Amino acid sequence: MKTVMGIVDLQEKKSLIRELADQRAVESIPFAGRYRLIDFALSSMVNSGVRNVGIMLPDEPRSVLDHLRSGKDWDLARRHEGLFYLPYAKDDEDQRKGDLKNFYHNLDYIEHSKERYVLLARGSFVYNMDFNPVLRFHQNTGADITMVYHTAAEESIGKNVVLETADNGLVEDISEKPAVYDGSKVSLSIYLMEKKVFVEMVRYTYEHGGQDLLMDGIIRRANEYTIYAYEHDGYVAHIDSTAAYYKANMDILQPEVWEELFMGENSIYTKVKDEVPVQYKETAEVRNSLVANGCIIRGEVENSILFRGVTVGKDVKIKNSIIMQKGDIQDGSLVENVICDKNVTISKDKWLKGAPNYPLIVTKNVVI
């Protein structure tokens, strides 16, 4: 993979997850106790041997910059190559929305890189993937573009890109659909192509009025490219809504999902924070939960995820919930089907309960 440069695009739309992404990029939303969503795409690239990675920053980059810093935790703080930040294109006379404008204004970084291929991925997907087989597949098929997809195991609602392919993987149709069904081939927004193909696509499409790389650069020009699809058969979640975020975190509590993502040959890296071990007091009861370092537990926790530094008081019951960093759940409280953002305090004897498929959300720094 020394011939591949990576680009992680952080341009996820916030409309369906705005409660958690109001003051941060979607890709920097905390996940699974100690990670951020961007960790999965970035770690998969690094584990595959990609050493030159550009981060296409969103319009609100502070949380991303704070998390990634120099890239040291991903072994990308290097004298040569390593981690590069590609700035968001400023608004000017050109009011077009979409990711093409940002790619176009950062083409100099891409053109001056020494790698032959470009691996483009979004940072809002959860997976642990080795991209080496994708590169071999791309080279063996002679494709102009290789798209990575997974086969949906259940029906879901949301904006999805669905592929239709021949038996050999040749893409015959690409379409955006509001729902997918069991067996649909759903794109993971991962594209591998030669650098010259990517540069030509971005430059030509943007200069001819395009806004979106997928819609204007690939779908509308599909007859100009040979496009193949490669299947990833592991766990996948696309965090494009609050419901999807909640479901993916609950999925992590399944041992087979946790082991696939975090206990395999390739690790998922994140920003290192040194914390003391969890303190389980005499009154603590914890079942089927993920508890990060620095927590103090005196109450009952079931089917839940607690991030670093959460305090759970006496006679507290937490069930099917996500409590982010520095949460303080005080004595006698009940929290069920709830997502608490960072630094939330639930005062004594308060009861909060959401619906199983529509959790109650408590935004950052709120005291209830």
Within the chain, what is the greatest distance between any pair of CA atoms? 67
Calpha distance 49→198 (Å, rounded): 21
> Token pair for residue 209?
């009025």
**Residue 127's CB: how many other CB atoms inside 10 A?**
22
Render pLDDT for 18-67 as a digit per residue (tens, 0 to 9). 889 988 999 999 999 999 999 999 999 999 999 999 999 998 899 999 99
Residue 281 neighbours by CB distance under 10 Å: 12
Q: What's the token pair of residue 30?
A: 């905390």
Tokens 């050999």: give the residue: 168
The two structure tokens encoding residue 113: 């890189």
Q: Which of 125, 133, 120, 130 is nearest to 39 (CA)?
A: 125
Distance CA 196, CA 3 (A): 13
CA distance 265 to 74: 16
The pLDDT of residue 11: 85
Question: Which pLDDT score, from 0 to 100, does residue 284 have?
Answer: 98
> Residue 36 has what pLDDT?
97
What does DSSP assign to residue 317?
E
Binning the chain into helix, strand and coil, the percentages to the nearest 5 are 25, 30, 45
Q: What is residue 300's predicted lDDT score, i.e. its pLDDT?
A: 98
- Residue 360 exposed, middle or buried by CB count within 10 Å (0-12, 13-18, 19+): middle
Task: State the pLDDT at residue 97.
Answer: 78
Instruction: Annotate 249-295 with DSSP letters as a single string.
Output: HHHHTSHHHHHHHHSSSSPPP------PPPEE-TT-EEES-EE-TT-
Bridge partners (DSSP) of residue 176 are 161
DSSP class of residue 90 equals P
What pLDDT, on the 0 to 100 scale, is given for residue 154?
84
d(CA 44, CA 170): 25
Give pLDDT, residue 216: 96
Whether the model clears a pTM of 0.75, i.e. scores above it, the answer is yes
**What's the rounded Cα separation, in Å, for the pair 165 and 228?**
8
Give which of 150, 159, 200, 209 is closest to 179, Cα–Cα. Answer: 159
Cα distances (angstroms) measured from residue 311 to each of 213, 271, 273, 281 = 45, 22, 17, 11
Torsion of CA 9, 187, 34, 65, to 10 degrees: 0
Contact 236, 125 (CB under 8 A): yes
Q: Residue 134: helix, strand or coil by DSSP?
A: helix
User: Which pLDDT value is given to residue 92?
Assistant: 67
Residue 51 has what pLDDT? 96
Residue whose pair of structure tokens reads 């639930």 in the numeric block:
346
- Please tell me the predicted confidence (pLDDT) of residue 93: 64
Tell me which residues of the chain have a pLDDT lower than 50: none
Name the phi and psi angles at 218, rounded to 5.
-110, -60
